[in-house]
Structure 1
């Protein structure tokens, strides 16, 4: 990228009206390969998550709290990947993207809100597994359909409302210097780096929000799985133990991947961390995690595989009858 690009548009104290996303600095051949790769991943992600939603919706055997929350997770994965990937594909083709102020902060808002929703949904799913394994006699009475719906509504409303406040606060910062964002989407950290305002208030707000959005969910998940592990090892029979391990391993795998990369980007010190590493970690929770969620849950879940076979066989039967 030329020096002219990196030095362009330093305004006279006025707020920027647009930003330039640089994406990945690489050769044209590499950009084409990345475009094809991410396009395939995006299509597979959308199809995989839509498949999960469809199977759960149309198979009565999957009408349970665990699969209800799985559909919520799939909807959230579709939202976050659609917020980020199309813009990234455009950058790969055009080398960069000019994005106006409103679009940039809209992308930031949808991204942060969906990531917060994912934290809460994974927390609720761990709580659901805790009740199912540790409190089986009370599970049906506690996790009824009305309670599940309340948890889902609270998760979405709380995430999108609290993130809206934070996004508005961030948008009030002044961006009067270079408008170059060396990232593939409007993420919070790169925006704070190019702001010419004092960002201490926003950083303090971010730190305070990390308690209800990240730390408390992590504590609940850890506490749930400590109790689950104790119950599995000491009170369950071998047959039930294997089924419980199978049920929880999928969710625990997703939790470890998601929270591990999230903490790597936003919690651990970023000084000395190269931009390439930061972009790679961002790719994991914006592109890879939404892809692997339906894969992990479908490959390790016998109920999902049975529902898929049943649906395929039913469609084949109807097609043969139509012929």
Structure 2
């Protein structure tokens, strides 16, 4: 079981367990206020229209329902090759379903509170609207959690444990993504304006220096990152200059890693540290390339796992000649 599948299984089964825990807690909290027979099915007007269920059958049914659907979602997480879109759909669907079922079943318990006759229990139709709203909110939570789930399609397939992308012989592929830092952009703009005021109000000698500092901050506030048959390329700023390129023949392996801008590189921008360098525009995921000379080069960019997997594939292809 790789890390991506483990995280996906955890995220997909969590809502069903949470809904079950909430349902059991409410069931125990209501205690003797629930009748021996519970109304569990209602018509469109909200009136009970089927034979009631005993408390035991109702409780066991809820446990089986949540455990069963949770198990199905886990099986789906481990079965087949899921794309990033598939991960989002599976996770959002599981959270939505658990939210819908969890609210509906728990609201049904409250509808049965202190009921002397199960046939007289009324379940207001507007509760279904609330259940749908809860399902949508839960789906949103599930989508947010997919940010912590790597793409299961990028399995570690190399001997070094790094990921690869399956490309047919002769098939071409490329990857690109723009990344940036809002903080550096703000600093650059403020410093540019400050340079103009310094030149006009303080001294024309110092104004240009401040202005150039602001210009450099703007240059390193964004970058275009690409991976193709040439290797890894990082083009800075709107003018795509300066450029940093790591050719394929200089790459040993590539991986995706979460880095902390301050702790790992001492700040933002183009950073140089002992045996490593990088374009660090924020904290978070980054593609990290280990060069053949043992040094590392990192770029903070979204979808870094895909970029690293493609780069490893292209390096393998080059080595095979």
Q: Which has the higher helix share?
A: 1
TM range (shorter): under 0.3
Please report the TM-score for the alignment, with normalisation by the length of structure 2. 0.25
Higher RCO (CA 8 Å, separation ≥ 6 residues): 1
Bigger Rg, which one: 2
